Structure 1
Amino acid sequence: MLERLKINKRLLRELDFSVLIIAIIIVVFGAINIYSATKGFDLFRLQLIWLALSLFVVYIILKIDYNVIRNYSAIIYWAGVALLILNDFVLGKVSKGAKSWIGIGSRAIQPSEFAKLGLIIMLAKKLDDMEGNINEPKNFFTLVMYAGIPMILIYIQPDMGMTMVCFFIVLGIFFTAGLNLKVIFGGVFSLVAAILVVWNSGLIKPYQKLRLTSFLSPEKDELGSGLQLMQSLIGVGSGGILGKGFNNGTQTSLSFIPEAHTDFIFSVVAEEWGLIGAGILLSLYGILIYRFIKIARTSKDIFGSVICVGVISTFLFSLIQNIGMTIGIMPITGITLPLMSYGGSSILSSFMAIGLVLNICMRRKKINF
């Protein structure tokens, strides 16, 4: 039994351990900042428990050849869609104006985090079947259909943040697959037009519009829609170069920043660890994404490369969006900072994505056993 659980030593030699080490460092650093933001061990402990569970799941993923995962791509994709349907129409509970969670006892899971992975795997499988020929109209519209189903289900929750993440996953995959730039620009233009129509249709409630546009002039409503961003800007700015020190951030300690342990965790980092601490964190993310890119380039097949591109797109956009909203250059959408923000679904799905990339890394070469 124990022998079956072991990973072949030849495969382990191909594993990029630096990716796992960096990911673990970021999660532990995130847990430390979560402790500072919440002034308690409860969420700190839970975050580390999720880390341990996630590492176990990564190990299981590494045991399975990703070509086997390829064979089950349809099941994985439709399971994610089924979870979204259950969330949207049956079991979902409303939190902060969006029905994005399925309650399990005192906890909850966010189905869109796992449906996002199913989307990446399905697009990778289809592109591999198509031998990368994305500019064939039939192929293109097939991919759009598979991309559109989960995105629509996520949008109607409504979860604008995750919808944006999925859109940029699809955009990144389509771009690297060589889709004609005219089609890409036409698609972006059509999306903007659709957003304008929906924006003025009454489907988006006033408080949701305010949340998305408050970053443009948060000072106009410092005690209302602009409160979160204004307090975040004060925290980020007051951190200076060296920061105020762990557990010494006034914006954090006095709970002036709402959701400091989740959406606005970067504000805690900037205030308490300063520009240097924030810079080191960004450097770790940069190394992580660089390693992902290297693995994508050396993958032995289209399926592996596309999965890597999907994961890169997820991490890169989430980083830009999350950090951008804490410093007032992006709308506040509720996107978490990967591996840093508190949340079991976010941590687990991030490590599942990392596990897939490392699986592809381990099997880049043909190894005879």
Structure 2
Amino acid sequence: MIKSLFLDRKTLKELDFGIIITVILIVLFGAYNIATCSGKGSQQVKWLILSLAISYIVLLIDYVDLKIYVKIFYWLCMILLLYTLYFGRTINGATGWVYVGFYIQPAEIAKIALIMMLGVKLEDMEFKVNNIRNLIILGIYCAIPMVLIIKQPDMGMTMVLFFIVLGIAFAANLNLKVLGAGILIVIISVVGIWNSGHFIKDYQKGRIIAFLDPESYALGDGYQLLQAMTGVGSGGFFGKKFTVENQANANYVASNVPEPQTDFIFAVTTENFGTLGAIVLLSLYGFLIYRIIAIAKKAKDGFGMIFSVGMATYFTFAILQNAGMAIGIMPITGITLPLTSYGGSSLLTTVVSIALVLNIGMRRKKIVF
């Protein structure tokens, strides 16, 4: 599969260095903010170095050669999710971690496996997505990881998967009436699950209820949300790091919110660097999503297009959700900020997935003999 340890000139010319630079800037900016609230910034940088090394290997392999292994990869991930339910470690109420010398979150890997599997299956089906048989098959492939993840329970990742599938369905030209009916079924299912007494824990319900009126739950489920919002507001436009008299008080979020380096890293960022810092960070994300969509449009095959669309959808939803919950316009769901939040397996998975998008962009031109 790897024909050379170096990229040839023609392929290298097609590499989107803008994406690479943007990813590195986002991760380093995130690592700095992680360091200010938890002291784990150096660990994040180490994970970045490892991620870039593995990403280089991914770039050496023509992504077309990887497609034959997607089904195996998908089912291995499903087995790993099942194993996690019974033998995984429980953190913050969710049994979603497995120790392999270090802790990994299998749901992060399964997310990528699902995107790849949908790309392969849609290509096999010649994108005849409105065929009822094909639709059922695709639905089953989507339902398996969602059910296994919701049983952990990890509602945040389940939501991520749902919106990724939604984005892919739209890109695959699923009939809008079918799409609307699917969304309606999901809404009805959510209501049923909410009232079933299963899957959704009381603390997860409390977070959503508190989001609607955080002041009334200031000493309970609304506490984290109010503290995050206070931290965001205290940063002003330029942030405490640029205001000498406020630097000593630049750890409000870290002092009042548990695990600020993951769920509330956007609040930490805004406290440190203010609205200006938030604008810069969101602009970098905007550029990254724009370039990924550009690669999706020019991909030489259906798999490349679907995978790129899936990644663009993931970034869009996760960013809106994470930033939104820090400023009080979204409920707290535990969805982390891609590339910015602390987490080794999450960073590794995301960076390597972006490398696959770059691979698709590098090899977008069909070879003519």
Aligned to 1:296: 296
Say which SS state the counterpart of residue 221 (structure 2) adopts: coil
Query: After superposition, what is the alpha-carbon deviation per residue over 1:10-36, rounded to whole angstroms, capped at 9, x for unaligned?
Result: 111100011011000000000000011
Asked whether the equivalents of residues 80 and 114 of structure 1 are also in contact (C-alpha less than 8 Å), the reply is: yes
Residue 68 (1) aligns with residue 46 (2): no
Residue 87 (1) aligns with residue 84 (2): yes
Asked whether the equivalents of residues 253 and 267 of structure 2 are also in contact (C-alpha less than 8 Å), the reply is: no
Residue 207 (1) aligns with residue 208 (2): no
Asked whether the equivalents of residues 32 and 44 of structure 1 are also in contact (C-alpha less than 8 Å), the reply is: yes
2:99 aligned residue (87, 103, 124): 103
Query: After superposition, what is the alpha-carbon deviation per residue over 1:113-142, rounded to whole angstroms, capped at 9, x for unaligned?
Result: 001110000000011111111011111111
For residues 301 and 206 of structure 1, do their structure 2 counterparts lie closer, same or farther at Cα, with a shift above 3 Å needed? same
Asked whether the equivalents of residues 87 and 101 of structure 1 are also in contact (C-alpha less than 8 Å), the reply is: yes
AA partner of residue 11 (structure 1): T
For residues 248 and 133 of structure 1, do their structure 2 counterparts lie closer, same or farther at Cα, with a shift above 3 Å needed? farther
AA partner of residue 293 (structure 2): I
Aligned to 1:258: 258
What is the distance in 2 between the residues matched to 1:87 and 1:29? 32
Query: After superposition, what is the alpha-carbon deviation per residue over 1:265-291, rounded to whole angstroms, capped at 9, x for unaligned?
Result: 000111110111110000000000000
Residue 26 (1) aligns with residue 19 (2): no
What is the distance in 2 between the residues matched to 1:368 and 1:184? 38
For residues 286 and 277 of structure 1, do their structure 2 counterparts lie closer, same or farther at Cα, with a shift above 3 Å needed? same
Aligned to 1:272: 272
Asked whether the equivalents of residues 16 and 361 of structure 2 are also in contact (C-alpha less than 8 Å), the reply is: yes
Superposition deviation, residue 83 in structure 1: 1.0
Say which SS state the counterpart of residue 95 (structure 2) adopts: strand
Asked whether the equivalents of residues 232 and 257 of structure 1 are also in contact (C-alpha less than 8 Å), the reply is: yes
Aligned to 2:366: 366
TM-score, normalised by the number of residues in structure 2 = 0.95
What is the distance in 2 between the residues matched to 1:250 and 1:131? 54
Aligned to 2:12: 12
Query: After superposition, what is the alpha-carbon deviation per residue over 1:164-210, rounded to whole angstroms, capped at 9, x for unaligned?
Result: 00001110000111001111111111111111111111113322210
Aligned to 2:107: 112
For residues 218 and 15 of structure 1, do their structure 2 counterparts lie closer, same or farther at Cα, with a shift above 3 Å needed? same
Say which SS state the counterpart of residue 216 (structure 2) adopts: helix
Give the total of aligned pairs.
363
Report the aligned-residue RMSD: 1.6
Q: What percent identity do the matched residue pairs reach? A: 52
Which consecutive unaligned segments of at least 5 residues does structure 2 have? Answer: none
Query: After superposition, what is the alpha-carbon deviation per residue over 1:296-328, rounded to whole angstroms, capped at 9, x for unaligned?
Result: 001111110000011011111100111111111
AA partner of residue 214 (structure 1): A
Which consecutive unaligned segments of at least 5 residues does structure 1 have? Answer: none
What is the distance in 1 between the residues matched to 2:126 and 2:300? 13
Superposition deviation, residue 249 in structure 1: 4.6
What is the distance in 2 between the residues matched to 1:165 and 1:332? 13
Say which SS state the counterpart of residue 306 (structure 2) adopts: helix
What is the distance in 2 between the residues matched to 1:212 and 1:253? 20
Asked whether the equivalents of residues 253 and 268 of structure 2 are also in contact (C-alpha less than 8 Å), the reply is: no
Aligned to 1:182: 177
